[in-house]
Amino acid sequence: MAVWVHLVLLLALSGHSSAAYCICRDGLSDQVLQKTIDYACGSGADCSAILQSGACYQPNTVKDHCNYATNSYFQKMSQSGGTCDFSGTAMTSTTIPNQASGCVYPSSASTAGTSTTNTTTSGTNPLFGGSGVAPTGINDTSTAVGLFQCLSLAFSLFLLSLWLLSW
């Protein structure tokens, strides 16, 4: 019986995805989202996929392009302290945003690409225009929430296994 419970516990924990995607929040104006795109693309994100000939250009909406740009930035920069906050315009999610056929959202730094469209400094990008919004990380609790959810699941399964062992 104990082997069965531990096997179920192991399968439950192994099925939990740890991939985190950075996506733009709903309900924000296109102008705010565009500033976020400008910052991400000007600060290290690989935005070539959302250019007109890119694999992720469609759907051609500011929100979808913002999702791709912030996620690319987050995946490339999270290893060196980059966050997914962008002054409150983005958040982490375990769900991949809607994608066009052929569009692949990076889920780690190793799949985030190596080319960038960053040709200037100070967080601006001539391909998208304008100045950007810095990813401050202030009050960014998205990572803590994800960790809490994982720990909560593990603790619940631990309690379940103890209860089953007491039978």
Domain with residue 63: its CATH number is 1.20.58
Average pLDDT rounded to a whole number, residues 99-122: 59
For residues 41 and 81, give the distance between their C-alpha atoms in angstroms, rounded to a whole number. 17
pTM (2 d.p.): 0.59
Residue 37 located in a structural domain: yes
DSSP string computed for 94-124: SSPPP--TT-----SGGGS-S-----SSTT-
> Is 159 domain-assigned?
no
Indicate the helix (H) or strand (E) that contains 153: helix 142-165
Angstrom distance (rounded) from CA 56 to CA 128: 15
Range in 15-29, 37-51, 54-68 the model is least confident about: 15-29
Position 70 in a domain: yes
Asked if the structure places residue 146 within a domain, the reply is: no
24 located within any domain: yes
Q: What is the pLDDT of residues 67-104, one digit of tens each?
A: 999 999 999 988 777 789 899 999 999 888 777 778 98
Whether residue 7 lies inside any domain: the answer is no
Q: Is residue 145 part of a domain?
A: no
How many domains is the chain partitioned into structurally? 1
Structural domain containing residue 64? 19-139
Residue with structure tokens 């002054």? 87
Q: Is the pLDDT of residue 28 over 60?
A: yes
Measuring CA to CA, which residue among 140, 10, 155 is closest to residue 87?
Answer: 140
Residue 99: inside a domain, yes or no? yes
